[in-house]
Amino acid sequence: MTYHEAIAYLESFVDYEKLMGYVYDPVRFNLARPRRLLAALGNPQQRFDAIHIAGTKGKGSAAIMTDAMLRAAGYRSGLFTQPHLVSFRERIVTDGELIPEQNLAALVERVQPAIEEHKEHPEEGRLSFFEIYTALALLYFAERGVDLAVMECGLGGRLDATNVLAPVVCAITPVGIEHTAELGDTLAAIAGEKAGIIKTHTPLVMAPQEPEAEEVILRTATDREAEVYRVIVAAAATSGEGAVMPGQLPTIRAVPGRVRNGGQTFTLKCHSPREPDLQFYDLYLPVIGRHQVANAAVAVGIIAVLRQHWQPKREGVDWPTAIREGLSQVELPGRLQICERNPFLIVDGAHTRESGAASRAAIDEFIPHDKLVLVLGCLRGKNVRAVAEQLAGAADEVILTAPESPRALPVEEMRQQVRDLWPTAHRAPDAPAALALARKLARPQDAILVTGSIYLAGEVLALLQ
């Protein structure tokens, strides 16, 4: 089996990343399916420890940052994220290296008989694309001998295929209103799905949350006797006291610092009633956007929990140095990524009100420019209007386009939704045309922001390669 044949085989299974209008229930999302498949593969997930991260925004960034610190500490790591930007191989990474094409092809060929055998159990439903590639990643990590795998949750958490894990630590990044048709139309309902990853007696690192979401997460943690490490960001609107649990919660408190060298600094203090405080001054993060400080604090919180609760496989690890060095080497493709200068070209995947606001704040603070040319392309089911409203005051020229996806929102439909905000918006049929037009409109002292969908971000990054 070749690499392209392997990808074609995987894509023959239902991919909920590309669908809309389905019901998020135990019929379509059934943990019995991935458990049966993993059992047929010898339960590879039991051969290494795992970190499990859920959330609406920031979970991928937190996962990448955690992985970088583990590698800086000298551990063999696995990293599981989604969706990919350019290549499927981005989803399965060990020791910072994408799975090679030949390894993925060989892995799919080996697992194919177990996949096909599952068809003998129609009562559980057909395996999905996500369930299969979760199993592929777990098997690859086991065979590569990783010490720890950092696993980003897919949709929700409670019924997600990654929830077959028994992690050593869980984390929940900020919860927001997204995937309402599947997860519910309130923060409480969505937070309940995310909180489904919390395991009994397993520490949880919780990012700053809106009170409604925080209450659900803390209640679930209390019910499962899971100790909570609470992230507080000094400049965040949601960093107030909110809901509290009995007794004193361990905290990870972050304070944003200076803009420096295309990135930023921040100060961080980890406090636990039972452990010595862990403090850092002027940690450097080579990415833009103040919201990334919260994601970095979650990642450092995960490392702080590991120091206390995990039995390391080697002695003498200098965690403070690993934290500092790991964060300083972080790369976040497609997340306010500065790809070019003169003019600046920034590629982002913002598709919610909150992420749109974060993108605008980052452009205003980190990117010196005269004029902003905005390229916006979104998927159906996303709140296009909310994203547009956040960026409306910042954009001087707007180009509306459509990502290459079956869920893409047609340009004319998007135009109807934002016509009052941008009555003179340009239109481009696809990403190549939109990027070409943006470059014509932008002068060296200007900036171009491509955003609205991770799929559009991926297309543009592929064009730049």
Confidence band, pLDDT 50/70/90 cuts, at residue 247: very low
Half-sphere exposure of 154 (CA within 13 A, CB side): 23
Report the chain's mean pLDDT, rounded to a whole number.
91
CATH, residue 270:
3.40.1190.10
Label residue 38 by pLDDT band (50, 70, 90).
very high
Residues 296 and 354 reside in one and the same domain? no
Q: Domain boundary at 309, 328, 347, which?
A: 328
pLDDT at 313: 67
Q: Quick check: 112 pLDDT over 60? A: yes
Same domain, 392 and 285: no
User: When comparing pLDDT for 397 and 126, which is higher?
Assistant: 397
User: Which of 21-30, 228-237, 354-363 is predicted with the least confidence, judged by mean pLDDT?
Assistant: 21-30
Which of helix, strand or coil describes residue 80? Answer: strand
> Domain range holding 164?
3-328
169-172/148-152 β-pairing: unpaired
Most confident of 114-118, 170-174, 233-237: 170-174
Return the amino acid letter for 5: E
Task: Say which range, 176-180, 291-295, 422-426, has the weakest mean pLDDT.
Answer: 176-180
- Model confidence at 279: pLDDT above 50: yes
Contact 208, 232 (CB under 8 A): yes
Same domain, 62 and 130: yes
Q: What is the pLDDT of residues 398-426, one digit of tens each?
A: 999 999 988 899 999 999 999 999 999 99
Whether residue 178 is predicted with pLDDT greater than 80 in this model: the reply is no
**Do 401 and 315 share a structural domain?**
no
Say whether both 239 and 214 belong to one domain: yes
Distance CA 377, CA 399 (A): 9
- For residues 378 and 350, the answer to whether their CB atoms sit within 8 Å is no
- Tokens at residue 157, please? 């958490």
Q: Measured between alpha carbons, how far is 72 from 342 in angstroms, rounded to an integer?
A: 33
pLDDT of residue 184: 63
* Together in a domain, 322 and 342: no
Residue 45 DSSP label = G
229 and 99 in one domain? yes
pLDDT on residue 59 = 95
In degrees to the nearest 10, what's the CA dihedral of 116, 117, 123, 128?
-30
What average pLDDT does range 61-76 have in this prediction?
97
Q: What are the pLDDT digits (tens) for 311-363?
A: 766 778 899 999 999 999 999 999 999 999 999 999 999 988 889 999 999 99
Give the residue with greater pLDDT, 28 vs 138: 138
- What pLDDT does 22 receive? 61
CATH number of the domain where residue 402 is located: 3.90.190.20
Overall domain count for the chain: 2
